[in-house]
Amino acid sequence: MTLREHEKFRWMDLIWLVFLGGLAVLPPVEEVHKQLILAAIAALQLGEARLIAYIPHRGRAYVVLLKILLSTLLLGHTGGVIINSGYYPIYYLCVVTAAVYYGPVGTLIWTALASAAYCAYLSPLLDPGINDFELTPSGEAELAIRVVFFFIAAILVNNFVMENRRQTRRYQLLAEELEQTNQRLEQIQADARRSERLAALGQLSAGLAHEIRNPLGVIKGSAEMLNQKLESSNPLASELAGYISTEVNRLSALVTRFLDFARPLHLERTPQRVQEIVERALKAVAAAWKGPAIRVEHDFQPGLPAVPLDENFAEQVFINLAQNAYDAMTAGGTLRVSISTARRDRHEGVEVKFADTGPGVPADMREQIFNPFVTTKQHGVGLGLSIVSKIVDDHGGVLRLESSSAPGACFTVFFPLEQSSQSPAT
């Protein structure tokens, strides 16, 4: 409950004031100090939430201590032998307050202090009238019974409060678990939709690729024959035929990429050390890189378990992710590669992260970045991440573009330790 909610006047506060007003008009009515002390108790009760909010570390102790002091003063102004005052139940207010704010040990300590304050009136220093009062054995038993009831009330209230706190904590944990489950379900649904789109586009790409490949072969063969026949008699026509052949080769390479995306993978999975495959991929990309200097940082967890992978396809995944990171850092930067064990839902596995310091992926493209023909590069057809996603899915793994406030992009690949043909839930 917030401080603003505490500051609202509640109907229970009104009932509290009515009962304290009833004590004020009960005998001894002529004792003005009694009314003042009851007013102070009422003010403390109404303002204790504010006091605790303003002094969070010591506010609870101040509240209980003030209630003990005011209760002790109230007994001193209710007439007769103070230890025998009928207002002694006011100490229940102290012990119940302590039971609400503290644990079992703190409740017992504060209850003992309240009982000691009550019994302190047996001393002539606090109650001179005690010299004319003889505490009989029955009186001692009654006093002991009162003190025991203080502890019983404190323990009962504290048990209720502690159980209520446990239930509240249990509900909070359950709510957090349900929220995480809902997030996982939403991610699973998104993965399922992405897989369906990839499957449909894969079938379409396969059909188009086969239809395009045959005419390309005819065009290329015809261009080469023209180039041979016109090479000496018509140099310009020969040059144009060469252009045709070159563009056909480019289109043929693109068709091959389509087929790579659409073709079912035949994985040959064997236990592999992921860190060794990642190292080879990084060396291959660095050796072919002609751009500005890129610094690569490694953070590999020692003692990583072997993972069932198709070595060639897994290396293709890491080469593609590393190449994308290099291409993104057009002015140079840092690529941080980390490998560690991880757990996704009920699946243990190995997680690889590629985090670069490039411009990152625009927010409006994060949902489509793994779709075919979607790319942030000026040159490219946008099949690289689609093929990577397909390879990871066929390994039963998970590919993610992580959300981060840091600059750049961070791609995470998770491969499960158990060989499975189905993607684990995330």
Q: Give the chain's end-to-end CA distance (angstroms, integer).
A: 34
In whole angstroms, give the CA distance from residue 37 to residue 47: 15
pLDDT, tens digit (0-9, with 9 covering 90-100), for 232-266: 777 777 777 777 878 888 777 777 766 666 666 67
CATH class held by domain 190-262: mainly alpha
pLDDT, tens digit (0-9, with 9 covering 90-100), for 57-115: 899 999 999 999 999 888 877 765 556 678 889 999 999 999 999 999 999 999 999 99
Residue spans of the domains in the chain: they are: 3-135, 190-262, 270-416
Residue 204 confidence (pLDDT) = 67
- With a pLDDT cut of 90, the percent of the chain lying above it is 36
Residues written for the chain: 426
**Mean pLDDT of all residues in 390-414:** 86
Q: How many CB atoms lie within 10 A of CB 413?
A: 26
Total-model pTM: 0.51
Band (pLDDT 50/70/90 cuts) for residue 4 is low
In whole angstroms, give the CA distance from residue 87 to residue 70: 12
Q: Residue 367: is its pLDDT beyond 90?
A: no
Q: Residue 381: is its pLDDT beyond 50?
A: yes
385 touches 320 (CB < 8 A)? yes
Residue 206 confidence (pLDDT) = 65
Structure tokens at 90: 């006011």
Q: Which long-range contacts (CB under 8 A, 24 or more apart) does 7-13 make?
A: 7/49, 7/50, 13/46
Amino acid identity of residue 279, one-letter, is: E
226 touches 243 (CB < 8 A)? no
CATH class held by domain 270-416: alpha beta
In whole angstroms, give the CA distance from residue 238 to residue 260: 33
Phi and psi at 124, nearest 5°, equal -60, -20
In whole angstroms, give the CA distance from residue 405 to residue 401: 13
